[in-house]
Amino acid sequence: MATRKKKTTARKTTRKKAATRKKTATPQKTATRKKTAAKEKTAAKKKTAAKKKSTRKYSRKAGRKVRKVMEEFKEGKLRSGRSGKKVTNRKQAVAIGISEARDEGDKVPPGPGSK
């Protein structure tokens, strides 16, 4: 049996050099890039300014109500509605405060079940 010789091929290094070579931009292109970046920044600032003008979800009075209920909860005096059991969960205490504010007519988003 005759053994076959492996063919050796010379590797091309030109591809590697072309890939690592940096492309230099002309001064005109860099100036336009800077201008567009500046426009994008000002547009982003305008959007955030518009967001700041948006109204509150919860009124200040509702926040005060929740704070008052949380103080009751921390003192251990907060009780749930029908059963009168002591509230032991923080989230439940906040929910009670929000629902009381809603009952008083304060500005609070509608509950999850009211669609």
Check residue 104 and give its pLDDT.
94
Let me know if residue 6 belongs to a domain.
Answer: no
* DSSP labels, 28-95: HHHHHHHHHHHHHHHHHHHHHHHHHTSPPSS-HHHHHHHHHHHHHHHHT--B-SSS-PBP--HHHHHH
Let me know if residue 88 belongs to a domain.
Answer: yes
For the record, the structure tokens of 104 come out as 């008083």
Of these ranges, 4-18, 19-33, 41-55, 96-110, the one predicted with the greatest mean pLDDT is: 96-110
Q: Is the pLDDT of residue 19 over 80?
A: no
Let me know if residue 35 belongs to a domain.
Answer: no
How much is the pTM?
A: 0.51
Let me know if residue 80 belongs to a domain.
Answer: yes
Let me know if residue 66 belongs to a domain.
Answer: yes
The whole-chain average pLDDT of the chain stands at 80
Look up the domain containing 69 and give its range: 60-104
Question: How many structural domains are present in the chain?
Answer: 1
What digits encode the pLDDT tens for the residues 48-68? 665 566 688 999 999 999 999
Place of tokens 């230099």: 24
Let me know if residue 75 belongs to a domain.
Answer: yes
Let me know if residue 90 belongs to a domain.
Answer: yes
Q: Which of 110, 106, 84, 81 is nearest to 96 (CA)?
A: 81
